[in-house]
Structure 1
Amino acid sequence: MHIRKLFLLAVLLCSICHLSAQRHEQLLETGWKFHKGEASGAASIAFDDTKWESVRVPHDWAIFGPFDRNDDLQNVAITQNLETQASIKTGRTGGLPYVGVGWYRTHFDADPEKKTTLIFDGAMSEAHVYVNGQEACFWPYGYNSFHCDVTEFLHKDGKDNVLAVRLENRPQSSRWYPGAGLYRNVHLVTTEKVHVPIWGTQITTPHVATDYASVCLRTTLNNVGKEKITVETDILSPDGQKVASKKNEGHINHGQPFTQNFIVEKPQLWSPETPVLYQAVSKIYVDGKLTDTYTTRFGIRSIEFVADKGFFLNGKHRKFQGVCNHHDLGPLGAAINVSALRHQLTLLKDMGCDAIRTAHNMPAPELVSLCDEMGFMMMIEPFDEWDIAKCDNGYHRYFNEWAEKDMVNMLHQYRNHPCVVMWSIGNEVPTQCSAEGYKVAKFLQDICHREDPTRPVTCGMDQVSCVLNNGFAAMLDIPGFNYRAHRYEEAYQQLPQNLVLGSETSSTVSSRGVYKFPAERKADAKYDDHQSSSYDLEYCSWSNIPDIDFAQADDHNWTLGQFVWTGFDYLGEPSPYDTNAWPNHSSMFGIIDLASLPKDRYYLYRSVWNKQAETLHILPHWNWEGREGQEVPVFVYTNYPTAELFINGKSYGKQTKNNQTVENRYRLMWPHAIYEPGEVKVVAYDEAGTAKAEKTIRTAGKPHHIELVPAQQSLKADGKDLAYVTVRIVDKDGNLCPTDMRLVKFHVTGAGSYKASANGDPTCLDLFHLPQMHAFNGMLTAIVQGGEEKGLLELQVSAKGIKAGKIQIEVK
């Protein structure tokens, strides 16, 4: 009996090995060598790279700086900002040295009897990929995922293959910081000859109801001849239970995908509130032999866009409460990191955000997967340029030859993700105003319809007169307007879709903790300190305050909601300080700053969008030495309709939200509050007049010590997981010192390392990767990274003149 058990175990293990051997995927993260600059002969096998820098991929070589005014200095007129005359632009791409050539080299083994494919999730940019000295593929667009079959280039024994990648960023190739290098993951995939190709399945849910849903799976197979094919697929529920199964046999019909249909009884429907996910696990047999096992994750949900009525998810009407985000991760640069993305999405989720627009490029696949898991709808967008240039060395150089290839990759990669509810084909493209522009838009929209007939197509349009008059907007499935909220009604009346999407909204600008007097609406306000006011009333010439977009969503069924510019500050585009205004080098549009610290505006959005949470936020801070006896307006952002303000016990009366102005609908304001040091208290009341919440802020005394607030208490021991630690300079009673700007230093010991820091100041030139950073208005963020061994990570934070802070984070 004992021998028989051992035999059965051996058979089982061999069976598992056989199954796993059909398809193998690994990340090529370590063992890379990097060189900045041209390197003659670097593609060859014999090239000596021992003196090159050792790096881990993903890797962004430009984020380490230094910042410099002369980096990508541009003399241009930004047409999408309505400029007609060229001027000197500083900091437009973040003031970082992203221009130039970078080489990467590594070695890998692969079975020469199998098919071997390399997948690049993103390589910035103009990637030339060489295997053993031969060019395997070229892909110019730095934001797109691409793959190449390298089987024919492998060594005969499959051992010690040399992979070399040459990348080049050209000057004036971007309008924001694009990053540089192999900034997203590289995958090595090996399969049998007959296999499911990269992104080779398509799942749709033709019928969705509470009692049952139909699921259609189309599976593409490569290298099939006249053999008999069997596809056996199990549908697994979110808890891993088999809920449907099919085993189908046949021959590939003239190269068409293998189609299977399933019924899932009482399905759990995907939504931002319930982001449940299923899996389709398919086994591919050729003449009875297993050759591949392929898993497709998906969700069951329905989407409808109904004229005059709006957007419906699973039959329920809702508005998009979305944000636009560029791809950089602030102090981490463009190098992708899952825990950093999760941190961003966690902050957005608490704000009530339920949708992301990937502005203005294909996203990292990790972001799309996290949106599936955490519950964010997505508008995925590929291009900022079509055939007409915005930047001298922009995508227009490749559009005619590469646009369809780039689109197909994007559509195949992301069409099975339930979070994706629409495609965008571009952003503020100059082509929108050309007489033939609608033809280019139709070309791109038709590709979307061909590859994925289940989702509508939009485009971010900013030239409203053009697109209303030339047929461009009428041709799209969903007309998306960037700003110009005052023309929504006109567009709704004129366009046949009878729907309007705020594809990019607001562009309010603010610097965290900075307040300017008087507190009044201003377009393109500029100050000597190069900051913008956090009274949330300042915006760019083309845009508006958030309240106007809230009102559009609340007042009209036919408005679909909005995608705010932006969720997070990002590197580059420092409007309104982009014209000869160095040292500004990062945006001020973010609801959350570059250090992942919420601005006051975060709580304005939260008070409107997060219906499940209580919000009560007071601004500004209460340290105004020299303004005693003068007016310091007090604003309150709350989900309650009424609040009463007290300053040192004196009531300034109650304010109730009303329709007198658009600001009064969403904010409570005491414009004539008088500053005197002490205590500011606000009591919030519900509709019945019952006191429901109370908040107090106080004048801070002398800075006393450093307070550390980690976003998480533990890290995974994988060498990649990050912890964001908020650093606060406080007085002896723990009150934030809101004007403190001292230099803070970091020291990490134990089971991890220091990764980066940021303070959210768009004018600060401190390097992110050095273990020191100036505070900005009393706060900054330190990012630490867990190692690959378990233990305790200790972060010590110090600054001259105050008591240091220390915390421990478990790495497990």
Structure 2
Amino acid sequence: MQAGESDRKELFDRGWRFSLGNLENAHQAVYDDSSWRLLNLPHDWSVEPLKEQIPGETIGPFSKKSPGGAATGQTLGGEGWYRKTFVISPEDAGKRHELYFEGIYNQSEIWVNGRKAHRNVYGYSTFRFDITPYCNPAGQENVIVVRVINEGKNSRWYTGSGIYRHVWMIRTAPSHIDDWGTFITTNRIADNQADVSLTATVVNGNDSATDFEVRIELVSPTGKTVSKATQSTKVASRDTLEIPFHLQVKKPRLWSTETPDLYTSRISLWKDGTRLDEVAIPFGIRTISFSVENGFELNGVKTKLKGGCVHHDNGLLGSAAFDRAEERKVEILKKNGYNAVRGSHNPMSESFMSACDRLGMLVIDEAFDQWRGKKNPQDYHLYFDEWSAKDIRALVLRDRNRPSVIMWSIGNEIRERITDEGRETAGYLKNEILKYDRTRPVTAGVNKHWDKDRKNMLPLDNAFHHLDVAGYNYMWRFYEEDHAKYPQRIIFGSESVATEASHNWDMVEKHPYVIGDFIWTAMDYLGESGIGNSLEVDPEENVHQFMSWPWFNGWCGDIDLLGVKKPQSYYRDVLWHERKISMAVEVPVAEGKIRKVSFWGWPEERLSWTFPGMENRRLKVNVYTRAPKVRLYLNNVLVEEKIVNEQYKASFEVPYQEGTLKAVEVDDNKEGASTVLATAGEATGLRVTADKTRLSADGQDLSYVWIELVDKKGNVVYDSQRKIQIASEGDGACIIASGTASPNDMASFQSLTPTLFNGRAMVIIRSDYHPGKMRLTVASDGIKTSAINLNTK
């Protein structure tokens, strides 16, 4: 959550009871839940191994009875119940108590002391509500009960199930600041000064009109107060009032992707010299603009969007939105050259959005994957008319103060997009956004295919009519043609595939009206199983869009499920000028077989020159560079020099020999940057490393532990299918997830005995609420056991 001081809000994740199944009377205040599982949020039950493991039917969390099948990663939903007790302290008597849920998938009902207090239907929407009328007097126990339903076919990808994002308890005086009613914008930056507008909303909880004083304090990234303002106002009884402020910040530190400096707005409410409430809202001082002539500009600087689409799950963790998991996701994207993400196709977690603010990642904030036209029988189309305005409001009010957000997206590949009804619906959604924010453009991801009636999906005039910026899914071939027809249209590739990356990015670099490109996807995700497949098959064999059991992840990402760069990401580095040259080797197919690559796929390449048993067989080596020519050396002997094609690729056929393969870019007969692949030796050990070995005793911290099979020189042995055993002892932390990046090895997902994939596996450790020491050990037959120590403080 963005706002508030520590005495105003409390993280409410600890100490929930949980039970899976259809239960009678579990919503009542008096109910025996002592046999229920005790857990701490965030929690996703769909990623947990099923209690009953039936040979041939279930493996870990996967089941052949999954209603969503390949689309939802062969996982199950169902019905789950959560219960938590709390007591209002004497100090908090008389205060307003509000529950704030960042996300529950999917439909949810909430009771307080046996009385229904709220209902929500959109699994990605943040919602909040006042529970004060339902609470018992101070000192008496209160019971919160949450029923979660995730049934039927309601999604095209893995969703997870349960209270998978944070829960907060917000305590305020009856008269307080509405944090979602605060809106901060940068009007102008000139002459080394920023003009900042701020609207604060005061809630008067009194039965009579009341005089208040509102104080504003803007605090710099270094903690220095840089601007102040105060206003006195009278608010009518039981009413709210918006109060505008105009402030100046001298020598502002501008928020950008390179310098994501955040200011803090402290807004306090006073009466008769007593402070009633205070919130602290982070914001960035920055300007954005969009035009056909200059494209997208951030603080007046032309900026091309190096973008990726991302789903909301966190790999081995399922959909559980731990702060560290979401932050790590953004760190990985930044490290790999991305400066923008598109939340696909729903509101992302607040933890993810806050990480984008802190780390400097631009965001297209997307609302929906469907409107009234269904994509699945039980999806959001059932609730669109009743709930869409509420969910748009929640999204925009939650995120409108974030400097990372540059566009609002109202939908993706909407069924009714070309119809008059679709045009009217787009206008309705845009107007709902404009009620709360007029500082950002509205967009959507529009495609001409995907539907069964794709031949009738042109023209797309209705789909684009209300969009300020046009998102094109897989339509780079139309950019120039459409620009000639609609010269004022600003375009970006809202989705594209890796095999067409050079075409897409060439368009971005060539035309100012094409402001960026977003790959499907930046990272692998659960569900849409195997859409990125690259299969060795008979020449006459057909390959389907989705892969059947045992495939469970999309396998179309630049980065795999653990966070490792895949070969296509090294190619993208070259396109984005992040790397001068990269090289990969295609895995050979058996005699009589061919390789078929799906639309979202990439040829099966390895970042390795280790192919035992392939001696003297000719292997295809692909080199990627923007240089005009490439020389390839094997063991310091020139193999060949080749001209690089228009896709920045040169391919070689090289008889396999152990040793070192070196590719060197050549320009004007001069050698430049190079890259090397070396043959790995025999596996001699397991390398165990962690991104952190000291964890905070807050029950929320995570440590990501890498397990890599290496030779004596420390090279990862990619081709090994070695099984390992993972164990732990001690306290202060526990293993919450483990597995590999394999898209189809179900037995190694959520397993303490995984089979290594590309020489790697991972363990994720969660801290407890008390200090302790934990030792993690990793063993494998014939290799010395390795270990790592972790401390929780």
Match of 2:234 among 234, 251, 259: 251
- Residue 167 in 1 paired to residue 140 in 2? no
- Residue 32 in 1 paired to residue 25 in 2? no
Match of 1:401 among 386, 404, 410: 386
Taking the TM superposition and a 5 Å limit, the aligned residue runs for 1:208-607 are: 208-209=189-190, 211-223=192-204, 225-252=208-235, 255-463=240-448, 466=457, 468-495=459-486, 497-506=488-497, 508=498, 544-574=499-529, 575=531, 579=546, 581-607=548-574
CA offsets 1:147-181 (integer angstroms, 9 cap, x no match)? 01010001023531100000101210111111101
Structure 2 CA distance for partners of 1:462 and 1:25, relative to 1, 3 Å: same
Tell me how far 1:434 sits from its aligned partner: 2.3
Q: Name the residue aligned to 1:744.
A: 724
Letter of the 2:573 counterpart = R
Further displaced range: 564-573 or 737-746: 737-746
SS in 1 for 2:444: strand
CA offsets 1:559-587 (integer angstroms, 9 cap, x no match)? 01012111111111021555562111110
- Residue 101 in 1 paired to residue 79 in 2? yes
Match of 1:207 among 188, 209, 215: 188
Q: Name the residue aligned to 1:52.
A: 36
Structure 2 CA distance for partners of 1:609 and 1:710, relative to 1, 3 Å: farther
Further displaced range: 351-360 or 726-735: 726-735
- Tell whether the 8 Å contact from 1:32 to 1:57 is kept in structure 2 after alignment: yes
CA distance in 2 between counterparts of 1:673 and 1:20 reads 63
Structure 2 CA distance for partners of 1:604 and 1:710, relative to 1, 3 Å: farther
- Tell whether the 8 Å contact from 1:73 to 1:91 is kept in structure 2 after alignment: no
CA distance in 2 between counterparts of 1:296 and 1:696 reads 48
CA distance in 2 between counterparts of 1:631 and 1:586 reads 31
Q: Name the residue aligned to 1:735.
A: 715
CA distance in 2 between counterparts of 1:744 and 1:655 reads 43
SS in 2 for 1:218: strand
CA distance in 2 between counterparts of 1:748 and 1:448 reads 50
Q: Name the residue aligned to 1:531.
A: none
Give the alignment's TM-score, normalised by structure 1.
Answer: 0.86
CA offsets 1:404-442 (integer angstroms, 9 cap, x no match)? 000001100000000001100011110203232100000
Taking the TM superposition and a 5 Å limit, the aligned residue runs for 1:718-729 are: 718-729=698-709
- Tell whether the 8 Å contact from 1:596 to 1:781 is kept in structure 2 after alignment: no
Q: Which runs of 5+ in 1 are unaligned?
A: 1-18, 75-89, 509-543
SS in 1 for 2:562: coil
Identity %: 32
Tell me how far 1:692 sits from its aligned partner: 5.3
Structure 2 CA distance for partners of 1:617 and 1:747, relative to 1, 3 Å: farther
Give the alignment's TM-score, normalised by structure 2.
Answer: 0.88
Q: Name the residue aligned to 2:588.
A: none
Structure 2 CA distance for partners of 1:156 and 1:753, relative to 1, 3 Å: closer
Further displaced range: 702-711 or 382-391: 702-711
- Tell whether the 8 Å contact from 1:91 to 1:578 is kept in structure 2 after alignment: no
Task: Indicate the structure with greater strand content.
Answer: 2
- Tell whether the 8 Å contact from 1:352 to 1:610 is kept in structure 2 after alignment: no
Structure 2 CA distance for partners of 1:640 and 1:195, relative to 1, 3 Å: farther
Match of 1:677 among 658, 679, 682: 658
- Tell whether the 8 Å contact from 1:731 to 1:737 is kept in structure 2 after alignment: yes
Match of 1:784 among 765, 773, 778: 765
Structure 2 CA distance for partners of 1:255 and 1:698, relative to 1, 3 Å: closer
Tell me how far 1:690 sits from its aligned partner: 6.1
Q: Name the residue aligned to 2:54.
A: none
CA offsets 1:281-311 (integer angstroms, 9 cap, x no match)? 1111235432111111100000000124311
CA offsets 1:656-714 (integer angstroms, 9 cap, x no match)? 64xx43x22xx3x23222222222123456x6776555543332333322122433454
CA offsets 1:240-287 (integer angstroms, 9 cap, x no match)? 101110111123498541111101111111000000001111111235
Structure 2 CA distance for partners of 1:545 and 1:480, relative to 1, 3 Å: same
CA offsets 1:364-393 (integer angstroms, 9 cap, x no match)? 111111100000000110111101100100
Further displaced range: 674-683 or 616-625: 616-625
Tell me how far 1:94 sits from its aligned partner: 0.9
CA distance in 1 between counterparts of 2:792 and 2:638 reads 49
Q: Name the residue aligned to 1:61.
A: 45
Structure 2 CA distance for partners of 1:639 and 1:474, relative to 1, 3 Å: same
Letter of the 2:117 counterpart = A
Tell me how far 1:641 sits from its aligned partner: 6.5
CA distance in 2 between counterparts of 1:713 and 1:20 reads 29
- Tell whether the 8 Å contact from 2:201 to 2:243 is kept in structure 1 after alignment: yes
- Residue 133 in 1 paired to residue 100 in 2? no
Aligned residue pairs total: 733
Letter of the 1:471 counterpart = N
Further displaced range: 411-420 or 242-251: 242-251
Structure 2 CA distance for partners of 1:73 and 1:142, relative to 1, 3 Å: closer
CA distance in 2 between counterparts of 1:167 and 1:73 reads 17
Structure 2 CA distance for partners of 1:789 and 1:130, relative to 1, 3 Å: closer
- Tell whether the 8 Å contact from 2:204 to 2:240 is kept in structure 1 after alignment: no
CA distance in 2 between counterparts of 1:580 and 1:20 reads 48
Structure 2 CA distance for partners of 1:654 and 1:106, relative to 1, 3 Å: same
Letter of the 1:278 counterpart = Y
Tell me how far 1:342 sits from its aligned partner: 1.9
Q: Which runs of 5+ in 2 are unaligned?
A: 50-59, 450-455, 534-543, 586-605
What is the CA RMSD across the aligned residues, in angstroms?
A: 2.3
SS in 2 for 1:344: helix
Tell me how far 1:792 sits from its aligned partner: 4.9
- Tell whether the 8 Å contact from 2:260 to 2:358 is kept in structure 1 after alignment: yes
Q: Name the residue aligned to 2:539.
A: none
Tell me how far 1:771 sits from its aligned partner: 1.8
Structure 2 CA distance for partners of 1:215 and 1:353, relative to 1, 3 Å: same
CA distance in 2 between counterparts of 1:394 and 1:585 reads 21
Taking the TM superposition and a 5 Å limit, the aligned residue runs for 1:626-641 are: 626-637=613-624
- Residue 41 in 1 paired to residue 32 in 2? no
Structure 2 CA distance for partners of 1:305 and 1:712, relative to 1, 3 Å: same
Letter of the 1:176 counterpart = W
CA distance in 2 between counterparts of 1:92 and 1:257 reads 45
SS in 2 for 1:766: helix
Structure 2 CA distance for partners of 1:488 and 1:767, relative to 1, 3 Å: same
CA distance in 2 between counterparts of 1:112 and 1:803 reads 60
SS in 2 for 1:673: strand
Match of 2:127 among 121, 137, 146: 146
CA offsets 1:521-557 (integer angstroms, 9 cap, x no match)? xxxxxxxxxxxxxxxxxxxxxxx43222221212211
Letter of the 1:122 counterpart = G
CA distance in 2 between counterparts of 1:557 and 1:122 reads 38
Further displaced range: 596-605 or 464-473: 464-473
Taking the TM superposition and a 5 Å limit, the aligned residue runs for 1:652-663 are: 652-655=639-642, 657=644, 660-661=645-646, 663=647
CA distance in 1 between counterparts of 2:15 and 2:63 reads 34
Further displaced range: 249-258 or 232-241: 249-258
Structure 2 CA distance for partners of 1:307 and 1:256, relative to 1, 3 Å: farther
